[in-house]
Amino acid sequence: MSIRPLVILPDAQLRIISAPVKSIDKDLTQLVGDMFETMYDAPGIGLAAIQIGQPLRVVTIDLSKKEGEQQPQVFINPEIVWASDDRSSYEEGCLSIPEYYAEVTRPARVKVRYRNETGEEREVLAEGLLATCLQHEIDHLNGVLFIDHISKLKRTMVVKKFTKLAKERGEG
């Protein structure tokens, strides 16, 4: 397992629609391990494969609060099959948009169908932080960022800031 570099805004990879996983093999197991290691190192609570440059429909999540009590969850080919009409708001951040946070309103509960790391099809009815995190990460798989859910003015300011930072680093 290894820590991989994060893809940071304004990198165009973040707008790629990720491809479905066709088979669960040792390469996918390696990818999932690297995703967890990268996510924990950042530190973050969720990571989509595209955030480390792999356009595959894979998400890792761990909402545990304390060190040593990890509760890793893997979602392969996740899809939202139902969303509640009631909404909830959370202050969201993103490892690909470091140190920027904004209030985002999303469905309060979602049902997500996915495959686990052994290939079994599963469904989860998620609410609270898990619902928000799943929606945030599934958005990544579809080329959508959490800043797409805020005002156009705020989004434009964030993109300009990160574009300027990328140019200063010689990336743009």
Cα distance between the two ends of the chain: 30
Q: How confident is the model at residue 170 (pLDDT cuts 50, 70, 90)?
A: confident
CA–CA gap between residue 70 and residue 66 (Å, rounded): 7
Q: Is residue 110 part of a domain?
A: yes
- Is 144 in a helix, a strand, or coil? coil
pLDDT attached to residue 103: 97
Would 98 be classed as within a structural domain?
A: yes
Per the structure, the complete domain to which residue 145 belongs is given by 12-168
Q: Does residue 1 sit within a domain?
A: no
111 pLDDT higher than 80: yes
Residue 91 annotated among the catalytic residues of the structure: no
Look at residue 132 and give its three-state secondary structure: helix
Whole-angstrom CA distances from 35 to 3, 48, 59, 76, 111 are 8, 8, 8, 13, 23
Evaluate whether residue 51 is within a structural domain: yes
Does the residue 144 lie in any domain? yes
In this prediction, residue 150 has a pLDDT band, given cuts at 50, 70 and 90, of very high
- Residue 32 resides in a domain: yes
What long-range pairs does 67-74 form, CB within 8 A, spacing at least 24?
70/40, 72/36, 74/32, 74/116, 74/117
As a whole number, the mean pLDDT across the chain is 96
Does residue 75 lie within any of the structural domains?
yes
- State whether residue 169 is helix, strand or coil: coil
Percent of the chain predicted with pLDDT > 70: 98
Question: Within 13 Å of residue 67, how many CA atoms lie on the same side as its CB?
Answer: 2
Cα–Cα distance for residue pair 1/143, rounded to 1 Å? 26
Q: What is the pLDDT of residue 172?
A: 62
pLDDT-derived band of residue 11, with 50, 70 and 90 as boundaries?
very high
- Domains: count for the chain: 1
pTM of the model: 0.96
Name the active-site residue from 69, 137, 168, 171.
137
Confirm if 109 and 126 have CB atoms less than 8 A apart: yes
For residue 90, give the CATH number of its domain.
3.90.45.10
Query: Per the domain annotation, does 96 fall within a domain?
Result: yes
For residue 169, what pLDDT band results from cuts at 50, 70 and 90? confident
